[in-house]
Amino acid sequence: MTKKSTSQILINCQAGEVRVALVENGLVQEVHIERANELSIVGSIYRGLVTRVMPGLQAAFVDFDGHRSGFLHIKDVLVKSATPLNQQSNLSNNDKDIRYVLREGQKIIIQVIKAGVAEKGARLSTNLTLASNYAVYKPYGLDHKISHRINVKDERVRLNDGLAEILDNNSLDRKHKVGSYILRSAAKNINLNLLKADINFLQRLWSALEVKIGIAEGPSCLHQELPVEQRLIRDLAAGELAQITVDDEYLVLKLQQFCDELKIDIPKGIHYYSESQPIFGRYKIDDQIDKALQRRVDLDNGGYLIIDQTEAMATIDVNTGSNIGRQDPEQTVYQTNLCSTTEIAHQIRLRNLSGIIVIDFIDMQKSVHREHILGSLKKAMSGDRTELFISKFTELGLVQIRRKRTYQSLRQLLHSDCPSCHGHGSLKSIDTVIFEIWRELKRVADTYDCTTLSVRASSEVIEGFLISKETFMEAFEGAFKCTIEITDQPLFTREQFDVIRG
């Protein structure tokens, strides 16, 4: 029995920005944003120039489009693709020293596999892949694979045999038998004629790319990955997407053409949204995005989550909040943790948290409760399209998730570091700033012979000064025989201040 399509895609198009929301049962599961000044380069293929080889890191920096550099680690270097043909016989993929594989000034073909984050450049690979609706082609691959999400044995056998027959009977040329294919989850239960058309499409794409590789000069783009809205449509499993609604007529036509070319069926069609109310406002997408940028997420039973994101990892702390239960504390904790698993899975996907994610559930005494929580979390995250691994409870009572990092998180896309707290996420207290001013006053008074010192600070710090005038300012003036004048600077942030000699 085919699963009924329940998802829809909502697309907001405006000058310089496209926002795409994947909605399931009225709840936003994913948000993708692409801006004209920072188009996604993940999946794009470039001719790059090795600018620096670092043996200590077993990696290299590669200039791949004339003004951007990326990081290429030895494990992402496929020797065959990075080495000139006349030298390949002397190397194998077991060669681990970057110095014998790459050299400065060498031209190589690379693909961006992870977007740059903060000060880190994009992550690169020479093991190229080309994706379509049902399959991924690896020109240098050796073994065919089928998505682990297709877990019915008979279906895996059918697809494996079907792929072998398609490749054996292909009459175009022998190159169709070179490389390997990964059949995506979207290939489940599809007609093999569609798979054949997909493979032919990928081979034509690779043939065209080979021509570009042969004639390209200098760092340049050889293959641009699809725009965000087409990429999402392509990557969703067959039968999963019911409807697409777009607020731009031209984009409606482009998406209709795209779906026709890839033979993607959208049961309820692609529609133009023409109402005056913005589409993301009409479907309350903006409200859900705003909530996804907040630290605190309330749970239905009175508990809440605190979600913090750093460059190294994300942490999720589960709290009972107002859910104090009645008699059994263990049951209260268990119910709060259980309620949190669905929301945790939703927030990870919506915020696109990736890398290492650490979940601090409320401590539970019973092992059976921990097993139930872990099973509930895995079930809630089973719909996540991103590759991930969920650990068991550690000795410290934590659950760790490793989720593949490809694109920036929602917070990284929409936020920048606060100029006041410099990205720390907090400000110094007023008392802390006042004592810093005290130390600066003392330093200036000790260093210079002056009778008057002027302090310029924010309104809230000045207010704190005045409250502590008797215990602070008068003591200072008595010790240093120096008068302090205070000037309110409304435009100063809390941590800004100046001490000026009179």
Is 181 a member of any domain? no
Rg, Å, the chain Cα set: 29
Model confidence at 436, pLDDT cuts 50, 70, 90, reads: confident
- Output the six-digit token pair for 112: 């961006």
CA distances from 98 to 50, 125, 269, 339, 422 (A): 12, 13, 51, 49, 37
Cβ partners under 8 Å of residue 135, min gap 6: 181, 182, 183, 184, 187, 195, 198, 199, 202
230 and 327 share one domain: no
CA distances from 318 to 273, 334, 359, 392 (A): 39, 11, 8, 17
CA distances from 460 to 167, 436, 465, 470, 497 (A): 73, 15, 9, 18, 12
pLDDT for 461-502, tens place per residue? 988 888 776 666 777 777 777 888 888 998 898 889 999 987
Tell me which of 389, 414, 439 is where a domain ends.
414
Tell me which of 269, 286, 303 is where a domain ends.
286
Is 259 a member of any domain? yes
282 and 299 share one domain: no
Is 405 a member of any domain? yes
248 and 339 share one domain: no
398 and 309 share one domain: yes
Is 444 a member of any domain? yes
Tell me which of 356, 382, 414 is where a domain ends.
414
Strand bridging mode 452-457 / 180-183: unpaired
300 and 407 share one domain: yes
Using the predicted structure, report yes or no on whether residue 86 has a pLDDT greater than 50: no
Question: What average pLDDT score do residues 356-381 get?
Answer: 95
Cβ partners under 8 Å of residue 463, min gap 6: none
304 and 264 share one domain: no
Is 273 a member of any domain? yes
Helical packing angle, 228-235 and 249-261, nearest 10°: 40
Using the predicted structure, report yes or no on whether residue 174 has a pLDDT greater than 60: no
Is 97 a member of any domain? no
Euclidean distance between the first and the last CA atom of the chain, given in angstroms as a whole number? 85
Strand bridging mode 452-457 / 497-501: antiparallel
3-state secondary structure of 315: strand
243 and 319 share one domain: no
Residue 122 to residue 221: CA distance in whole angstroms: 15
Question: What average pLDDT score do residues 50-61 get?
Answer: 93
- Output the six-digit token pair for 372: 């139930």
Q: Which CATH number characterizes residue 440's domain?
A: 3.40.1260.20
Strand bridging mode 313-319 / 355-360: parallel
CA distances from 351 to 31, 58, 343, 361, 413 (A): 8, 32, 12, 19, 10
Q: How many domains does the chain have?
A: 3
Is 236 a member of any domain? yes
Residue 305 to residue 295: CA distance in whole angstroms: 8
Q: What is the CA 392 to chain-centroid distance, rounded?
A: 24
Question: What average pLDDT score do residues 279-301 get?
Answer: 91
303 and 377 share one domain: yes
Residue 386 to residue 118: CA distance in whole angstroms: 21
3-state secondary structure of 185: helix
DSSP track, 125-150: ESS--EE-SSEEEETT--S-EE-TT-
Tell me, letter by letter, the H, E, C secondary structure of 222-253. EECCCCHHHHHHHHCCCCCEEEEEECCHHHHH
pLDDT for 401-418, tens place per residue? 999 888 888 888 888 777
What integer pLDDT is reported at residue 84 of this predicted model?
A: 44
Closest to 165 (Cα-Cα) out of 129, 193, 132, 205:
193
What integer pLDDT is reported at residue 235 of this predicted model?
A: 85
Model confidence at 334, pLDDT cuts 50, 70, 90, reads: very high
Question: What average pLDDT score do residues 271-295 get?
Answer: 91
Closest to 219 (Cα-Cα) out of 339, 382, 106:
106
302 and 400 share one domain: yes
pLDDT for 214-238, tens place per residue? 887 778 899 999 999 999 998 887 6
Residue 233 to residue 266: CA distance in whole angstroms: 10
Strands annotated E in 67-117? 69-73, 107-114
Residue 69 backbone phi and psi in degrees, to 5: -120, 150
332 and 410 share one domain: yes
- Output the six-digit token pair for 399: 């659950």
For the chain, give the number of residues: 502
Q: Where is pLDDT greater, at 89 or 326?
A: 326
Model confidence at 5, pLDDT cuts 50, 70, 90, reads: low
- Output the six-digit token pair for 290: 């705003």
Question: What average pLDDT score do residues 10-30 get?
Answer: 91
Tell me what percent of the residues of the chain surpass a pLDDT of 70. Answer: 91
Question: What average pLDDT score do residues 164-170 get?
Answer: 85
Model confidence at 308, pLDDT cuts 50, 70, 90, reads: very high
Q: What is the CA 363 to chain-centroid distance, rounded?
A: 29
Is 113 a member of any domain? no
pLDDT for 23-40, tens place per residue? 988 889 999 999 887 788
What integer pLDDT is reported at residue 82 of this predicted model?
A: 52
Range of the domain at 349: 294-414
Residue 266 backbone phi and psi in degrees, to 5: -110, 100
- Output the six-digit token pair for 426: 């907090």
Using the predicted structure, report yes or no on whether residue 88 has a pLDDT greater than 80: no
Give all strands of the β-sheet with 313-319 in edge-to-edge order: 296-298, 304-309, 313-319, 355-360, 398-403, 388-390
464 and 393 share one domain: no
Residue with tokens 């005056």: 276
403 and 298 share one domain: yes
